[in-house]
Amino acid sequence: MKLKVVLAQLDFIVGDIPGNTDKVCSAIEKAKALHNFDVIVFPELTLTGYPPEDLLLRASMQKRVESAILQVCQASSQLGADHTIVLGYPWHDGAHLYNAAGVFCNGELVTRYYKHCLPNYQVFDEKRYFAEGNEAACFYINGVSFGITICEDLWHEAPAAKAKAAGAQILLNLNASPFHLGKLGHRRKLVASRALQNNFPVVYVNLVGGQDELIFDGGSMVFDQQGNCCASFPQFAEALYLAEFDTGSAGDMTAIPIVDSTEELSVEQSVYQALVLGVRDYVNKNGFRSVVLGLSGGIDSALTLAIAVDALGAERVRAVMMPFTYTSQMSIEDAAEEAAILQVQYDVISIESIYNAFMSALEPAFTGLKPDTTEENLQARCRGVLLMSLSNKTGALVLTTGNKSEMAVGYSTLYGDMAGGFDVLKDVPKTLVFKLAAYRNSLSYCIPQRVIDRPPSAELTPDQKDEDSLPPYDILDEILRLYVEKDHSAASIIEMGFDKTQVERVVRLVDINEYKRRQAPIGVRITERGFGKDRRYPITNGWKMGS
């Protein structure tokens, strides 16, 4: 006997319970027409989207979910007894709120499962909202028993073992697992381990889409009871995927391998697709018609422009070159070439007269004071005012272009190049920016090679280069990775062989610029620890030298 399981790897909007429910019902109809499934499985907290955060505290949440459940039951009733629906949603049971998965068949709720293990680390804070479940839940299709777990449950041995003890022959795992570099490999090892430990196939269904800084990459998969991958589905794309199972001689269910299982993406491929998805969903889900960004002729803005066009289409992207006295002719030429290749609306607005007007107004207050970074920052702030004015007038979202290396050490200007609504490269180290630019050019040429090859510069003073005041980016980024993402102290980084003066300078810059990062726009998270939900340091503190 064969069983057909559809993995609904879909993108939902947080808080849009009616819209999400309609999408579920449409997916059910489509899956029935395409695959005539036995069971269709949706991700964790499908009806609310993930993470709903403090929306879960709203008094009307339960009523809205109840209304959605009625709609799901109606869809289930129309399917009849031969088709089962499994999806996630929050549910109040007595005094407690649970992260739940419901099983619906023939218009009825068959069983409900409450998530056992609630993550409360990195970007997760589920213990703020949910109570822990502790009971297994199984349901039957044609005599075959399916068990359920939800996301974090699979990272612990007990929930899967409880499902096995309750008689599960196949385990369905509903996920809203966010992307970061290396995450897919960890998931695959985990799913393989749980399948082998419990001698049953595991169906891993993951959410896809962008939600503020988080990216859910899909990458749903199926492993057989020996821990072998039978099917791995694409990342960063919505689809309904089919997995089939066959009853063995001992009554166990065996996953039928799919020939065209998806190969794992390279670092550059996965990060680039994550950034494109993050921009597309943030812009579209928040109702922006278009985006605008400053195009400087440098590599960060060139890469940001390419990502924006790939995410939204050239007709929704506007680039603005804002030259000043120190802007090189090379930068002007390269920016114009990038805009022409990608066919975006392109404007050139000089900031010279604006800057001079500010300096004239400030001259009495600046009397007797020497020029310093104030004048450099004023250039960036002139550009920020222009971009925000275009945003106000046209409704376009301003994309900022700062990278993680700059954000870490504060090499950015508040209310200047930090002015905007979304920072595409916020969690991308500079060394990776170079690799991503080369990768994008391998798809189709859009970033002039000399933009990639030339030494990075903010062009705020004559002949300025980033490495005049910072270590080379390969060294800087490794120090930052160890300090910011891995929590090493300055002393331990120095013991690894890094220059003491460089380490102490970098660590000090990270520490004193928390106030600035707190005011930065959000951006796509692609590492294990970005400057956002999963790194929460006090601005006012007496902690010294990154110890």
Residues marked active site are found at: 44, 115, 151
Say how far apart CA 87 and CA 104 lie, in whole Å: 9
**Cis check: omega of the bond before 51, within 30 degrees of 0:** yes
| 3-state SS class at 16 | coil
Our separate counts of H helices and E strands in the chain read: 16, 20
Q: Are 279 and 399 in contact (CB under 8 A)?
A: yes
In Å, the largest CA–CA distance within the chain is 91
299-312 helix and 267-285 helix, angle to the nearest 10 degrees: 60
- Please name the residue that has the structure tokens 């190049």: 417
Report how far residue 42's alpha carbon sits from residue 78's, in angstroms, rounded to the nearest whole number: 18
CA distance 467 to 455: 8
Using DSSP, state whether 5 is helix, strand or coil. strand
Structure tokens at 10: 């879909």
CA angle 81, 82, 84 (to 5 degrees): 85
Please enumerate in sequence order all residues whose Cβ is within 8 A of that of 364, keeping only pairs 6 or more positions apart, or say none.
none
Using DSSP, state whether 237 is helix, strand or coil: coil
The tokens describing 460, both together, are: 């705020």
Q: How far apart, in Å, do the first and last CA atoms of the chain sit?
A: 61
